[in-house]
Amino acid sequence: MSDRKLPRLLQTPAVLLLLVWMLIPLGMTLYFSFIRYVLNSLRRPEWTTPSFSNWRGFGNYEFVLNSKDFLFAIQNSLFIVCSILFLTVILGVLIAVLINKTFPGQGIVRVLLISPFFVMPAVNAVLWINMILDPVLGLQGIAVGGINELIDGLKDAPLVGWFFGMWPELQPISFRATQTSAYAVIIMVTWQWTPFAVLIFMTSLQSEDQQQKEAAVLDGANTWSQFRFLTLPHLARPIAIVVMIQAIFHLSLYAEIEIVSRGNGNKNLPYLIGEFANNNIGAASATGIFAVILANIVAIFLLRMIGKTLME
Amino acid sequence: MAIVAKTSRFGKYGRPTLAWVVGLLFFFPIFWMVLTSFKTDADAVKPEHLIFFKPTFDNYINMTENYDYWRFAKNSVITAVMATVFTLFVGIPCAYAMAFNPSRATKDVLMWMLSTKMLPAAAVLYPMTFITKTAGLFDTHFLIILVLSLINMPIVIWMLFTYFKEIPKDIIEAGQMDGANTWGEIKEILIPLAWGGIASTALLCFIFCWNEAYWTVRLTTTDAATLSKLIEGNRAPEGLFFGRLSAVSAAAVGPIVVLGWFCQKQLVQGLTFGAVK
Amino acid sequence: MGRIVLKNVTKTFGETQVIPPLDLTIEDGEFAVFVGPSGCGKSTLLRMIAGLEDLTSGAIEIEGEDATEVPPAKRGLAMVFQSYALYPHMSVRKNIGFPLRMAKMEQSEIDERVETAAKSLNLMDYLDRKPADLSGGQRQRVAIGRAIVREPEAFLFDEPLSNLDAALRVGMRLEIGELHERLKTTMVYVTHDQVEAMTMANKIVVLRAGVIEQVGSPLELYHKPRNVFVAGFIGSPKMNIFSGPEAEKLDAATIGIRPEHIGVSMTDGLWKGRVGVAEHLGSDTFIHVHDTGLADMITVRITGDIAVKHGDTIYLTPQPDQIHKFDDEGLRN
Ligand SMILES: Nc1ncnc2c1ncn2[C@@H]1O[C@H](COP(=O)(O)OP(=O)(O)OP(=O)(O)O)[C@@H](O)[C@H]1O
Ligand SMILES: [Mg+2]
């Protein structure tokens, strides 16, 4: 082999590391998904050690498919990811356009804005669900309580009292409840990742062609058409990238879901796997294989869509 | 700019005001966390002490005295720094090869790497725990560094790849013609030219390492436990110990947020992921 | 000392063969120029010599030794790129000294050689600037400086002047020519500007679609183009080439006559036509003549100025001994 091939060999360490990182656990997961394997069983102690003699075929897969949480977890995964993507992209574009022009304190505003991105996901979740969204002790609870008290006070006021008397008492929302826990996760992750979108869009806006804009102004384009026909198309590529990176990260959300409601009313596949894995490794592994398949479908979809533009 | 510079009333007053409001809103939760960390646990949940309270350092003192904060912090620094260094060490040559000696498979390899990030960690938690315990690596710095590197490698390689691709191929070839071997090219030409991009990448990698909380919590007990483990341990039942929790949280995210502030220029310029053409 | 021999060299990108089997020898000390239309494979061929592009098959010998598998860094060749490819993060001094540093030369020796090169290229005042702060011509000189310091076996140039403005191009052309006179090192030079080719080369290699159409000295190519393609490609303005009765009269399928070998008269001559555009350069006049019945347009070049205007009738007479005759296959007969 001539040493002209050396440069290509330089990718082998990374490729090999990632290959091992992927294949060994994946192989074990695949194996476990076809056997009966639980961590504790008084009735069938032989199931607590992995072995081919506990072969279950597709039994674990059937079990998972029939469990009521499975479809819900898939739907919910997609719901959460898509909502976050939607919100972060919209907010990101708006904020990036807003702060792209110089104004007094631009640097400080930028620092304030990107700070959430540096916060640990676990801290993010703890912070929001307890100190902000808690229906009693959090700011939400305190705010709702305050408003109710204010209205109460106004009920006895002369002249306008009857008007406020007709107001209902406000109820704080419990974000740990079955119906709402997904929203809590969406809120906190959006808070954390909007700055990321802003960062990327801002960088991209800085490279926008100013001459083109000037030409557009000369052609009589107003602000909206400038945004619609110049800025937005310019942002197409960064939007694609923000979507892709976030999809990669949010498909495997875990800490937020656990901290908000321990999966109550709000599971995604990783969390479902975690729940199974408390005892039933076989089922957890089968779910894992489903998750791998889902991830690959999403990956193929995203990468097909986005990969092309990236390689140019 | 001469033509665009016609500022409307909105441009003059509305935009800065709105921008400041948005910035403060986004920062508010962090501010609130820091503020709460100076309240006692009792004060923290009393509406009357929402803003006016007697600040106390007790939470922080308690944290360092009873929760061994410095050990967790030290582990976080060690693992995040080492993992970032190792990731770059493996990632730079790889991205270099992909950017300047691409083969037909390069794109697919890159996409495959990214797709490994989508594998659900929970699915392989059990085998991973099993393997690492068998190999005697459980709760070691080595393991955490390795895992953090592997998790972040795809993103790092991708980012580096996009920066390297911006370097004109001619310059790399000129280096070859001038007698530089592969190492010389990387050291003398590639790294100095892509320095800004490499710094941004390193920064982002460091942030992700610092904030990682799935594996660091589950593959450690004490020796290699990082700040995310400390948070995990202090995540008391709902609504309790807000003051203490805030202090621990603030101390866990503080260093990285401040680092982010100092490097925000770098991030603003460098975080393109190839989005800027 | 660099004698470069290409043996049966081919290059295929994916499915398309860019260079069909090709043999070529460039003698030591020669100034060889590759010319040809855009996309004909000049750069590819040069890059194959440099080692930047793998051969699909065949072999390259440099100075008698097989270099086919030798990496570019070890071939002892220097290259000047169209984009200059200077290292933007290094000063001019560092740029020029880079190949020497890579060769692990003593710093004092490096400094000395860089100074010498800089002196000869008029770069002394710019040694501590970064490439971004230089003009195009200065950058070009730095690129050349970087190539000459290491005293390579041969220089490779890929359209080094095409990013310069016309005046600078003429100046640099002379400088490179002088450099060759001084160093006597083999030079391989790619261009699609045939004026550059004619003025600088001792050997011109005319390429079309990866095939060598003719190899020879500039005047050989000018006076005895081997086929219609070379005839049309070498010379400016282009040779008039046409077929028809006029060619048959001379027993050829196609004949060609250079613009400078046609005499004009307002009263009589062999061919009659109508003046289209006349380009007055002062020293020369190019007249584009239409409606001759020979070809769409015949170009004539006259020394000095002549008072013709659009629409005038004009008579043309070719110099008989300067008519090039080609057979059905386009080959000279
Ligand atoms: N890396 C590549 N992959 C595929 N095709 C290529 C590649 N490089 C060159 N080609 C093709 O090979 C042919 C020759 O290219 P080359 O660059 O050698 O032309 P050239 O003669 O230098 O042209 P120009 O005068 O425009 O520089 C072209 O048709 C080009 O499209
Ligand atoms: Mg070329």
The CATH number linked to C250 is: 2.40.50.140
Q: What is the pLDDT of residue A4?
A: 53
B213: closest CA among B28, B111, B72?
B72
Q: B87: Cβ–Cβ under 8 A, 6 or more apart, which residues? A: B148, B149, B152, B153, B156, B205
Nearest CA to ligand 1 atom 24: C38
Mutate to test the pocket of ligand 1, among C12, C16, C44 (most ligand atoms within 8 A of CB): C44
> Cα dist. A172→A149, A167, A180, A262 in Å?
13, 15, 12, 21
Answer yes or no: is C333 within a domain: no
Q: Contact B194/B167 with Cβ under 8 angstroms?
A: yes
Tens-binned pLDDT, residue by residue, of chain C (333 aa): 689 999 999 999 988 999 999 999 999 999 999 999 999 999 999 999 999 998 999 999 998 899 998 888 889 899 999 999 999 999 999 999 999 999 999 999 999 999 999 998 889 999 999 999 999 889 999 999 999 998 899 999 999 988 888 888 888 889 899 999 999 999 999 998 888 899 999 999 999 999 999 999 999 999 999 999 999 999 888 999 988 888 888 888 999 999 999 999 888 888 999 999 988 888 889 999 998 888 889 999 998 888 888 888 999 999 989 999 999 888 887
Q: Which residue in A has a C-alpha nearest to residue B88's C-alpha?
A: A14
Say what the pLDDT of residue B14 is: 84
Q: How far is the alpha carbon of B203 from chain C, nearest alpha carbon, in Å?
A: 22
Interaxial angle between packed helices A232-250 and A68-100, expressed in degrees from 0 to 180 and rounded to the nearest 10? 140
Residue C243 is encoded by which pair of tokens?
A: 């077929």
Token pair 């982010």 is found at B260
User: Do residues C256 and C324 make contact, with C-beta atoms less than 8 angstroms apart?
Assistant: yes
Domain contains C164: yes
According to CATH, where is 1.10.3720.10 located in chain B?
A: 69-229
Same structural domain, C192 and C242: no
In chain C the beta strands, taken as DSSP E runs, fall at 4-13, 16-26, 31-35, 57-62, 65-66, 77-80, 154-158, 186-190, 203-208, 211-216, 240-243, 254-257, 262-265, 271-280, 284-290, 298-303, 313-318, 324-326
At C279-326, the pLDDT tens digits run 888 888 999 999 888 888 999 999 888 888 888 899 999 998 999 999
CA distance C176 to chain A (A): 31
Rounded Cα distance between B75 and B89, Å, is 21
Every domain of chain A and the residues it spans:
28-133+173-311
DSSP secondary structure code for residue A169 in this structure: P
Does C160 share its domain with C245?
no
Residue C332 covered by a domain: no
Residues in chain B closer than 8 A to C89 (CB atoms)? 192-193
Give the CATH number for residue C48: 3.40.50.300
Let me know whether C315 and C218 are in one domain.
Answer: no
In this structure, the strands spanning C240-243 and C211-216 are unpaired
Cβ partners under 8 Å of residue C80, min gap 6:
C140, C143, C144, C147, C155, C156, C157, C158, C160
The conformation of residue C331, written as its DSSP 8-state character, comes to B
Distance between the two ends of chain B, CA-based, in angstroms?
Answer: 21
**Which amino acid is it at C83?**
S
Collect all residues of chain A within an 8 Å Cβ-Cβ radius of residue B126.
32, 277, 281, 284-285
CATH number, domain B69-229: 1.10.3720.10
- ipTM for the complex shown: 0.88
Residue B269 has pLDDT above 80, yes or no: no
Q: Of B180, B188, B193, which has the smallest distance from its Cβ to C73's Cβ?
A: B180
Q: Point out the domain boundary residue: C202, C230, C258.
A: C230
| C177 and C256 together in one domain | no
**A28-133+173-311 sits in which CATH class?**
mainly alpha
B50-53: list long-range contacts, CB under 8 Å, 24+ apart: B50/A142
Whether residues C243 and C223 share a domain: the answer is: no
Task: Identify all chain B residues contacting A285, using CB atoms and an 8 Å cutoff.
Answer: 123, 126
Per-chain residues with Cβ under 5 A from ion ligand 2: C 43
- pLDDT tens digits, C196-237: 899 999 999 999 999 999 999 999 999 999 999 999 999 888
Query: Are C163 and C243 found together in one domain?
Result: no
> What tokens does B134 get?
């068998």
**Ligand 2 centre distance from Cα of residue B96 (Å):** 24
Question: What does the radius of gyration of chain B's CA atoms come to, in whole angstroms?
Answer: 23
**Shared domain check, C129 and C78:** yes
Residue range(s) defining the domain that contains residue C46: 4-230
- Reference C300, options C254, C255, C259, C242; nearest CA is C259
Residues C242, C224 share a domain? no
Cβ–Cβ < 8 Å for C18, C39: no
φ, ψ at B6 (rounded to 5°): -70, 105
* Closest CB from B170, B184, B192 relative to C81: B170
Residue A98 has pLDDT above 60, yes or no: yes
